[in-house]
Protein backbone atom coordinates (compact mmCIF):
# COMPACT_ATOMS: atom_id res chain seq x y z
CA UNK A 1 0.00 0.00 0.00
CA UNK A 2 1.48 3.33 -0.99
CA UNK A 3 0.15 6.36 0.82
CA UNK A 4 0.62 9.85 -0.59
CA UNK A 5 2.72 11.09 2.33
CA UNK A 6 3.01 14.61 1.02
CA UNK A 7 -0.73 15.01 0.81
CA UNK A 8 -1.25 13.45 4.22
CA UNK A 9 1.31 15.84 5.72
CA UNK A 10 -0.33 18.85 4.05
CA UNK A 11 -3.75 17.79 5.30
CA UNK A 12 -2.55 17.34 8.88
CA UNK A 13 -0.85 20.74 8.82
CA UNK A 14 -4.08 22.32 7.65
CA UNK A 15 -6.02 20.56 10.39
CA UNK A 16 -3.61 21.79 13.05
CA UNK A 17 -3.95 25.32 11.78
CA UNK A 18 -7.76 25.23 11.91
CA UNK A 19 -8.07 23.56 15.32
CA UNK A 20 -5.69 26.12 16.81
CA UNK A 21 -3.98 26.56 20.11
CA UNK A 22 -5.58 23.71 22.07
CA UNK A 23 -4.09 21.13 19.74
CA UNK A 24 -1.06 19.31 21.03
CA UNK A 25 -0.55 16.65 18.38
CA UNK A 26 -2.23 14.63 15.65
CA UNK A 27 -1.33 11.03 15.02
CA UNK A 28 -2.38 8.70 12.25
CA UNK A 29 -2.04 5.09 13.32
CA UNK A 30 -2.85 1.84 11.62
CA UNK A 31 -5.05 -0.80 13.22
CA UNK A 32 -2.08 -2.37 14.93
CA UNK A 33 -1.28 0.92 16.61
CA UNK A 34 1.74 1.65 14.44
CA UNK A 35 2.31 5.37 13.88
CA UNK A 36 2.06 6.27 10.21
CA UNK A 37 2.35 10.01 10.60
CA UNK A 38 2.44 12.46 13.46
CA UNK A 39 2.68 16.21 13.81
CA UNK A 40 2.76 18.34 16.91
CA UNK A 41 0.95 21.68 17.19
CA UNK A 42 2.05 24.90 18.78
CA UNK A 43 4.53 27.45 17.57
CA UNK A 44 7.38 24.98 17.29
CA UNK A 45 6.71 23.54 13.87
CA UNK A 46 9.13 20.66 14.16
CA UNK A 47 7.78 17.31 15.28
CA UNK A 48 8.41 16.94 18.95
CA UNK A 49 9.48 13.32 19.24
CA UNK A 50 9.02 13.32 22.98
CA UNK A 51 5.40 14.40 22.82
CA UNK A 52 4.63 11.97 20.01
CA UNK A 53 6.33 9.14 21.86
CA UNK A 54 4.50 9.91 25.10
CA UNK A 55 1.17 10.28 23.39
CA UNK A 56 1.65 7.12 21.33
CA UNK A 57 2.10 5.21 24.56
CA UNK A 58 -1.14 6.72 25.84
CA UNK A 59 -3.00 5.96 22.66
CA UNK A 60 -1.97 2.34 22.44
CA UNK A 61 -4.16 0.81 25.17
CA UNK A 62 -7.19 2.81 24.01
CA UNK A 63 -6.60 1.66 20.44
CA UNK A 64 -6.38 -1.91 21.60
CA UNK A 65 -9.75 -1.52 23.24
CA UNK A 66 -11.27 0.09 20.18
CA UNK A 67 -10.09 -2.65 17.87
CA UNK A 68 -11.02 -5.39 20.30
CA UNK A 69 -14.46 -4.21 21.24
CA UNK A 70 -15.58 -3.05 17.87
CA UNK A 71 -15.07 -4.84 14.62
CA UNK A 72 -13.15 -2.85 12.06
CA UNK A 73 -15.13 0.03 10.61
CA UNK A 74 -17.81 0.04 13.27
CA UNK A 75 -16.36 2.19 16.00
CA UNK A 76 -16.75 5.58 14.38
CA UNK A 77 -15.61 8.22 16.81
CA UNK A 78 -14.78 8.35 20.47
CA UNK A 79 -13.08 10.41 23.11
CA UNK A 80 -10.77 9.48 25.92
CA UNK A 81 -9.57 11.82 28.65
CA UNK A 82 -6.37 11.45 30.62
CA UNK A 83 -4.81 13.58 33.33
CA UNK A 84 -3.04 15.81 30.82
CA UNK A 85 -4.88 15.34 27.56
CA UNK A 86 -8.19 14.95 25.78
CA UNK A 87 -8.00 12.47 22.94
CA UNK A 88 -10.34 12.11 19.97
CA UNK A 89 -10.30 8.88 17.98
CA UNK A 90 -11.82 8.89 14.52
CA UNK A 91 -11.85 5.90 12.22
CA UNK A 92 -10.35 6.88 8.90
CA UNK A 93 -11.47 4.04 6.67
CA UNK A 94 -10.54 0.39 7.18
CA UNK A 95 -6.81 1.05 7.45
CA UNK A 96 -6.30 3.88 9.86
CA UNK A 97 -7.38 5.65 13.00
CA UNK A 98 -6.94 9.40 13.27
CA UNK A 99 -6.05 10.59 16.77
CA UNK A 100 -6.27 14.20 17.91
CA UNK A 101 -4.56 15.16 21.13
CA UNK A 102 -5.91 18.26 22.82
CA UNK A 103 -4.98 20.13 25.94
CA UNK A 104 -6.79 18.96 29.10
CA UNK A 105 -8.75 22.21 29.28
CA UNK A 106 -9.88 22.16 25.63
CA UNK A 107 -13.48 21.80 24.52
CA UNK A 108 -13.93 18.76 22.34
CA UNK A 109 -17.19 19.71 20.61
CA UNK A 110 -15.87 22.43 18.30
CA UNK A 111 -13.10 20.13 17.10
CA UNK A 112 -15.39 17.33 15.92
CA UNK A 113 -16.46 18.78 12.59
CA UNK A 114 -12.80 19.23 11.66
CA UNK A 115 -11.89 15.76 12.91
CA UNK A 116 -14.64 14.03 10.88
CA UNK A 117 -13.77 15.90 7.75
CA UNK A 118 -10.08 15.18 8.17
CA UNK A 119 -10.69 11.49 8.92
CA UNK A 120 -12.77 11.30 5.76
CA UNK A 121 -9.96 12.85 3.75
CA UNK A 122 -7.36 10.55 5.31
CA UNK A 123 -9.47 7.55 4.28
CA UNK A 124 -9.51 8.89 0.74
CA UNK A 125 -5.74 9.35 0.73
CA UNK A 126 -5.35 5.74 1.87
CA UNK A 127 -7.68 4.55 -0.90
CA UNK A 128 -5.73 6.51 -3.48
CA UNK A 129 -8.80 8.60 -4.33
CA UNK A 130 -8.52 12.29 -5.20
CA UNK A 131 -8.78 14.63 -2.26
CA UNK A 132 -8.10 18.26 -1.54
CA UNK A 133 -5.97 18.82 1.59
CA UNK A 134 -7.87 22.01 2.34
CA UNK A 135 -9.90 22.15 5.55
CA UNK A 136 -12.32 25.07 5.42
CA UNK A 137 -12.98 27.21 8.45
CA UNK A 138 -16.05 25.82 10.15
CA UNK A 139 -18.06 28.25 12.20
CA UNK A 140 -20.44 26.68 14.69
CA UNK A 141 -21.65 27.62 18.12
CA UNK A 142 -19.68 25.82 20.82
CA UNK A 143 -22.08 23.65 22.74
CA UNK A 144 -19.83 21.81 25.17
CA UNK A 145 -22.04 18.70 25.35
CA UNK A 146 -19.13 16.29 25.64
CA UNK A 147 -18.01 16.24 29.23
CA UNK A 148 -14.56 15.47 30.44
CA UNK A 149 -14.50 12.00 32.00
CA UNK A 150 -11.05 10.89 33.02
CA UNK A 151 -10.16 7.33 32.08
CA UNK A 152 -13.43 6.65 30.27
CA UNK A 153 -13.81 5.80 26.63
CA UNK A 154 -16.85 7.64 25.31
CA UNK A 155 -18.36 6.76 22.00
CA UNK A 156 -19.86 9.61 20.02
CA UNK A 157 -23.19 9.04 18.35
CA UNK A 158 -25.56 11.22 16.42
CA UNK A 159 -29.16 11.10 17.43
CA UNK A 160 -30.72 11.89 14.11
CA UNK A 161 -32.19 8.48 13.32
CA UNK A 162 -34.15 8.22 10.12
CA UNK A 163 -34.87 11.87 9.96
CA UNK A 164 -34.07 13.82 6.81
CA UNK A 165 -33.23 17.51 6.90
CA UNK A 166 -34.78 19.96 4.52
CA UNK A 167 -31.99 21.74 2.68
CA UNK A 168 -32.54 24.84 0.59
CA UNK A 169 -30.31 26.90 -1.68
CA UNK A 170 -30.31 30.67 -1.85
CA UNK A 171 -28.55 33.12 -4.12
CA UNK A 172 -29.15 35.09 -7.32
CA UNK A 173 -30.11 33.52 -10.63
CA UNK A 174 -27.31 31.82 -12.54
CA UNK A 175 -24.80 31.56 -9.67
CA UNK A 176 -24.76 27.77 -10.00
CA UNK A 177 -27.20 26.46 -7.38
CA UNK A 178 -28.78 23.81 -9.61
CA UNK A 179 -25.35 22.84 -10.94
CA UNK A 180 -24.06 22.34 -7.39
CA UNK A 181 -26.98 20.09 -6.54
CA UNK A 182 -26.49 18.06 -9.72
CA UNK A 183 -22.80 17.71 -9.06
CA UNK A 184 -23.50 16.62 -5.50
CA UNK A 185 -26.38 14.25 -6.21
CA UNK A 186 -25.38 12.78 -9.57
CA UNK A 187 -21.78 13.91 -9.97
CA UNK A 188 -22.69 15.50 -13.30
CA UNK A 189 -22.52 18.98 -14.81
CA UNK A 190 -24.79 20.45 -17.49
CA UNK A 191 -23.65 23.39 -19.56
CA UNK A 192 -26.93 24.49 -21.12
CA UNK A 193 -28.48 27.02 -18.78
CA UNK A 194 -32.17 26.72 -18.12
CA UNK A 195 -33.30 28.86 -15.25
CA UNK A 196 -34.95 26.90 -12.48
CA UNK A 197 -38.69 27.40 -12.64
CA UNK A 198 -40.50 26.50 -9.47
CA UNK A 199 -38.82 23.81 -7.43
CA UNK A 200 -37.20 20.45 -7.86
CA UNK A 201 -36.63 18.11 -4.95
CA UNK A 202 -33.84 15.57 -4.57
CA UNK A 203 -32.61 13.29 -1.82
CA UNK A 204 -29.06 12.49 -0.87
CA UNK A 205 -27.28 10.99 2.10
CA UNK A 206 -24.04 12.28 3.51
CA UNK A 207 -21.79 9.69 5.07
CA UNK A 208 -18.64 10.13 7.12
CA UNK A 209 -15.89 7.56 7.46
CA UNK A 210 -15.30 8.47 11.07
CA UNK A 211 -18.92 8.28 12.05
CA UNK A 212 -21.41 5.46 11.90
CA UNK A 213 -24.38 7.80 11.43
CA UNK A 214 -25.57 9.29 8.16
CA UNK A 215 -27.07 12.66 7.51
CA UNK A 216 -29.98 12.66 5.07
CA UNK A 217 -30.83 15.71 3.06
CA UNK A 218 -33.95 16.49 1.11
CA UNK A 219 -32.74 19.20 -1.21
CA UNK A 220 -35.19 21.80 -2.44
CA UNK A 221 -33.83 23.74 -5.37
CA UNK A 222 -35.77 26.95 -5.71
CA UNK A 223 -35.88 29.52 -8.42
CA UNK A 224 -33.42 32.35 -7.87
CA UNK A 225 -35.21 35.04 -9.81
CA UNK A 226 -36.76 37.77 -7.75
CA UNK A 227 -40.18 37.50 -9.40
CA UNK A 228 -40.61 34.25 -7.51
CA UNK A 229 -39.99 35.88 -4.19
CA UNK A 230 -43.39 35.10 -2.73
CA UNK A 231 -43.14 31.42 -3.65
CA UNK A 232 -39.64 31.34 -2.22
CA UNK A 233 -40.81 32.39 1.20
CA UNK A 234 -42.92 29.26 1.51
CA UNK A 235 -40.05 26.99 0.57
CA UNK A 236 -37.58 28.56 2.95
CA UNK A 237 -39.91 28.01 5.87
CA UNK A 238 -39.06 24.99 8.01
CA UNK A 239 -35.73 24.48 6.30
CA UNK A 240 -33.06 23.19 8.68
CA UNK A 241 -30.07 23.59 6.39
CA UNK A 242 -29.17 25.99 3.64
CA UNK A 243 -26.44 26.99 1.23
CA UNK A 244 -26.20 30.59 0.12
CA UNK A 245 -24.31 30.86 -3.12
CA UNK A 246 -22.73 33.69 -5.09
CA UNK A 247 -20.73 33.68 -8.29
CA UNK A 248 -17.11 34.80 -7.74
CA UNK A 249 -17.11 36.40 -11.22
CA UNK A 250 -20.18 38.56 -10.52
CA UNK A 251 -19.79 41.11 -7.76
CA UNK A 252 -23.54 41.90 -7.74
CA UNK A 253 -24.34 38.32 -6.68
CA UNK A 254 -21.88 38.74 -3.79
CA UNK A 255 -23.43 42.06 -2.76
CA UNK A 256 -26.85 40.43 -2.65
CA UNK A 257 -25.82 37.74 -0.16
CA UNK A 258 -26.77 40.01 2.74
CA UNK A 259 -30.32 40.18 1.39
CA UNK A 260 -30.51 36.41 0.88
CA UNK A 261 -29.14 35.76 4.32
CA UNK A 262 -31.65 38.10 5.92
CA UNK A 263 -34.58 36.67 4.00
CA UNK A 264 -33.69 33.09 4.87
CA UNK A 265 -32.99 33.82 8.53
CA UNK A 266 -36.30 35.65 8.88
CA UNK A 267 -38.27 32.73 7.47
CA UNK A 268 -36.24 30.06 9.27
CA UNK A 269 -34.40 31.52 12.28
CA UNK A 270 -32.73 28.30 13.45
CA UNK A 271 -31.41 27.23 10.05
CA UNK A 272 -27.76 26.15 9.67
CA UNK A 273 -26.13 27.92 6.74
CA UNK A 274 -22.95 27.71 4.69
CA UNK A 275 -21.69 30.47 2.40
CA UNK A 276 -20.35 29.34 -0.97
CA UNK A 277 -18.37 31.27 -3.59
CA UNK A 278 -18.91 29.24 -6.79
CA UNK A 279 -17.28 29.18 -10.27
CA UNK A 280 -13.69 29.39 -9.03
CA UNK A 281 -12.62 27.56 -12.22
CA UNK A 282 -13.13 30.89 -14.03
CA UNK A 283 -9.85 32.20 -12.63
CA UNK A 284 -9.36 35.07 -15.11
CA UNK A 285 -12.89 36.42 -14.66
CA UNK A 286 -12.78 36.49 -10.91
CA UNK A 287 -14.18 39.65 -9.29
CA UNK A 288 -14.55 38.66 -5.65
CA UNK A 289 -11.46 37.59 -3.72
CA UNK A 290 -11.23 34.74 -1.22
CA UNK A 291 -10.52 37.29 1.51
CA UNK A 292 -13.72 39.19 0.70
CA UNK A 293 -15.67 35.93 0.87
CA UNK A 294 -14.11 35.04 4.20
CA UNK A 295 -14.76 38.49 5.62
CA UNK A 296 -18.43 38.32 4.66
CA UNK A 297 -18.76 34.83 6.18
CA UNK A 298 -17.15 36.08 9.36
CA UNK A 299 -19.56 38.98 9.52
CA UNK A 300 -22.58 36.72 9.04
CA UNK A 301 -21.18 33.99 11.32
CA UNK A 302 -21.12 31.37 8.56
CA UNK A 303 -18.74 28.71 7.35
CA UNK A 304 -17.20 29.67 4.01
CA UNK A 305 -16.08 27.46 1.17
CA UNK A 306 -15.19 28.07 -2.49
CA UNK A 307 -16.37 25.64 -5.15
CA UNK A 308 -16.61 24.86 -8.82
CA UNK A 309 -19.68 22.89 -9.87
CA UNK A 310 -18.04 22.61 -13.27
CA UNK A 311 -14.97 20.63 -12.22
CA UNK A 312 -16.38 19.42 -8.89
CA UNK A 313 -13.90 21.20 -6.60
CA UNK A 314 -15.12 21.22 -2.98
CA UNK A 315 -18.75 20.46 -3.88
CA UNK A 316 -18.89 17.38 -1.66
CA UNK A 317 -17.20 19.33 1.11
CA UNK A 318 -19.72 22.16 0.90
CA UNK A 319 -22.57 19.77 1.61
CA UNK A 320 -20.50 17.95 4.19
CA UNK A 321 -19.84 21.20 6.03
CA UNK A 322 -23.54 21.55 6.38
CA UNK A 323 -24.01 17.93 7.41
CA UNK A 324 -21.42 18.49 10.13
CA UNK A 325 -23.35 21.45 11.46
CA UNK A 326 -26.47 19.27 11.60
CA UNK A 327 -24.53 16.50 13.34
CA UNK A 328 -23.27 18.90 15.96
CA UNK A 329 -26.79 19.63 17.12
CA UNK A 330 -27.54 16.01 17.84
CA UNK A 331 -24.35 14.65 19.35
CA UNK A 332 -24.70 12.26 22.28
CA UNK A 333 -22.06 10.27 24.12
CA UNK A 334 -22.14 6.74 25.44
CA UNK A 335 -19.57 5.38 27.82
CA UNK A 336 -18.19 2.06 26.62
P1 LIG B 1 -31.31 29.78 -11.31
O2 LIG B 1 -32.00 28.50 -11.50
O3 LIG B 1 -31.65 30.79 -12.30
O4 LIG B 1 -31.48 30.31 -9.91
O5 LIG B 1 -29.73 29.50 -11.53
P6 LIG B 1 -28.74 28.59 -10.67
O7 LIG B 1 -28.15 29.36 -9.58
O8 LIG B 1 -29.38 27.32 -10.33
O9 LIG B 1 -27.55 28.35 -11.73
P10 LIG B 1 -27.27 27.09 -12.66
O11 LIG B 1 -26.80 25.95 -11.86
O12 LIG B 1 -28.42 26.86 -13.52
O13 LIG B 1 -26.01 27.62 -13.48
C14 LIG B 1 -26.04 28.78 -14.26
C15 LIG B 1 -24.96 28.73 -15.34
O16 LIG B 1 -23.68 28.76 -14.75
C17 LIG B 1 -24.99 27.45 -16.20
O18 LIG B 1 -24.67 27.79 -17.52
C19 LIG B 1 -23.93 26.59 -15.60
O20 LIG B 1 -23.39 25.70 -16.55
C21 LIG B 1 -22.92 27.62 -15.14
N22 LIG B 1 -22.15 27.18 -13.97
C23 LIG B 1 -22.63 26.72 -12.81
N24 LIG B 1 -21.63 26.43 -11.96
C25 LIG B 1 -20.48 26.72 -12.59
C26 LIG B 1 -19.08 26.63 -12.25
O27 LIG B 1 -18.68 26.22 -11.17
N28 LIG B 1 -18.18 27.04 -13.20
C29 LIG B 1 -18.59 27.49 -14.42
N30 LIG B 1 -17.61 27.84 -15.26
N31 LIG B 1 -19.86 27.58 -14.78
C32 LIG B 1 -20.81 27.21 -13.89
Question: For the domain that residue 15 is a member of, what is the CATH number?
Answer: 3.30.450.30
Mean pLDDT of the chain: 82
Domain boundary (96, 126, 158) is at: 158
- pLDDT-based confidence at 113, cuts 50/70/90? confident
Name the range with the highest mean pLDDT among 24-28, 43-47, 221-225, 230-234.
Answer: 24-28
Q: How far apart are CA 143 and CA 158, in angstroms?
A: 14
Q: Which of 158, 190, 224 is the last residue of a domain?
A: 158
Same domain, 94 and 238: no
43-47, 294-298, 303-307: range with lowest mean pLDDT: 43-47
Q: Is residue 334 part of a domain?
A: no
pTM over 0.85? The answer is no
Percent of the chain scoring above 90 in pLDDT = 29
- CA–centroid distance, residue 229 to ligand 1 (Å): 19
Last residue of a domain, one of 128, 158, 188: 158
How far apart are the C-alpha atoms of 225 and 147, rounded to whole Å?
47
Give 211-237 as a DSSP string.
EEEEEEEEEEEE--SGGGHHHHHHHHT
Report which of residues 311 and 120 the model is more confident about. Answer: 311
Task: Give CA angle at 20 (18, 22), nearest 5°.
Answer: 140
Q: How far is the CA of 284 from the centre of ligand 1 (A)?
A: 17
Distance 258 CA to ligand 1 centre (A): 20
More confident residue, 311 or 77: 311
**Interval between CA 95 and ligand 1 midpoint (Å):** 38
Greatest alpha-carbon span in the chain: 64
pLDDT recorded at residue 250: 98
DSSP annotation of 28: E
SS3 of 180, please? Answer: helix
Mean pLDDT calculated for residue range 192-213? 67
For residues 63 and 33, give the distance between their C-alpha atoms in angstroms, rounded to a whole number. 7
Identify the band that residue 321 occupies on the pLDDT scale cut at 50, 70 and 90.
confident
Closest residue to atom 10 of ligand 1, CA basis: 176
- For residues 67 and 204, membership in a common domain is answered with no
Answer yes or no: is pLDDT of 12 > 90. Answer: yes
> Which of 159-163, 175-179, 331-335 is most confident?
175-179
Same domain, 247 and 303: yes
* Ligand 1 nearest atom to the CA of residue 179, by list position: 11
pLDDT band at residue 45 under the 50/70/90 scheme: very low
Residue 316's CB is within 10 A of a number of other CB atoms, namely: 17
Same domain, 186 and 299: yes
- In this prediction, residue 159 carries a pLDDT of 63
Q: Are residues 38 and 145 in the same domain?
A: yes
Q: Pick 197 or 283 by higher pLDDT.
A: 283
Separation of CA 179 and ligand 1 centre (Å): 5
Is there a single domain that holds both residue 154 and residue 168?
A: no
Pocket test for ligand 1, best of 170, 176, 284 (most atoms within 8 A of CB): 176
Instruction: Report, as an integer, the average pLDDT of 246-272.
Output: 94
**HSE on the CB side for 204, CA within 13 Å?**
20
116 and 261 both lie in a single domain: no
Across the range 70-98, mean pLDDT stands at 80
Q: How far is the CA of 60 from the centre of ligand 1 (A)?
A: 49
Q: Decide if pLDDT at 48 tops 90.
A: no
**Model pLDDT, residue 214:** 75
Whose C-alpha lies nearest to ligand 1, atom 2?
A: 196
Element (H, E) at 54: helix 49-69
Report residue 142's pLDDT band, with 50, 70 and 90 as the boundaries: low
Q: Are 39 and 46 in contact (CB under 8 A)?
A: no
Measure 279 CA to ligand 1 centroid, in angstroms: 8
Q: What is the pLDDT of residues 209-228, one digit of tens each?
A: 666 667 888 888 765 554 45
User: C-alpha distances in angstroms, 137 versus 19, 174, 196, 209, 289?
Assistant: 9, 26, 30, 20, 16
CB 97 within 8 A of CB 66: yes
d(CA 150, CA 186): 45
Residue 90's pLDDT is: 87
- Measured in residues, the chain has a length of 336
Atom in ligand 1 nearest the alpha carbon of residue 282 = 30
Q: Which of 64-68, 116-120, 267-271, 275-279 has the highest mean pLDDT?
A: 275-279
Nearest-CA residue for atom 15 of ligand 1: 174
Pocket of ligand 1 (CB under 6 A): 173-179, 191, 193, 195-196, 223-225, 278-279, 281-282, 308-310
Our count of domains for the chain comes to: 2
Please tell me which residue, 196 or 285, carries the higher pLDDT value. 285
Residue (of 93, 67, 61) closest to 80 by Cα position: 61
Task: Give the residue numbers spanning the domain of 98.
Answer: 5-158
Substitution candidate for ligand 1 out of 193, 199, 286, 308 with most atoms within 8 A of CB: 193
- Name, of 52-61, 92-101, 171-180, 229-238, the range with top average pLDDT: 171-180
Same domain, 66 and 97: yes
pLDDT band at 326 (very low <50, low <70, confident <90, very high): confident
Q: Whose CA is nearest to atom 1 of ligand 1?
A: 173
187 CA → ligand 1 middle, Å = 15
CA of 216 to the centre of ligand 1 (A): 24
144 and 195 part of one domain: no
Residues 6+ apart with CB under 8 A from 137: 18, 294, 297, 303, 304
The ligand 1 atom nearest the CA atom of 308: 27
- Name the 3-class secondary structure at 127: helix
Q: Residue 17 pLDDT > 80, yes or no?
A: yes
pLDDT tier for residue 112 given thresholds of 50, 70 and 90: confident
Q: What's the distance, Cα to Cα, between the start and end of the chain in Å? A: 32
Q: Whose alpha carbon is nearest atom 19 of ligand 1?
A: 191
Amino acid sequence: MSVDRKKLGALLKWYIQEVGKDLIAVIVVNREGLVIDAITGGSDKSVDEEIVGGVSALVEPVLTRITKEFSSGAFGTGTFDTEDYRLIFCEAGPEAVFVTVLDAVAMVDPVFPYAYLTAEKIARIFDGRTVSPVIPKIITQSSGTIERKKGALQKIKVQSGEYAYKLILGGDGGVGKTSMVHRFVEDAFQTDYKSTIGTSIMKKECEFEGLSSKVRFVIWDLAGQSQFKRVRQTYVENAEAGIVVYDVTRKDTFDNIDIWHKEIKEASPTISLVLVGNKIDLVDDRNVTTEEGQALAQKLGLTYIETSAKDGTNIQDAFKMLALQMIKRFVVTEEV
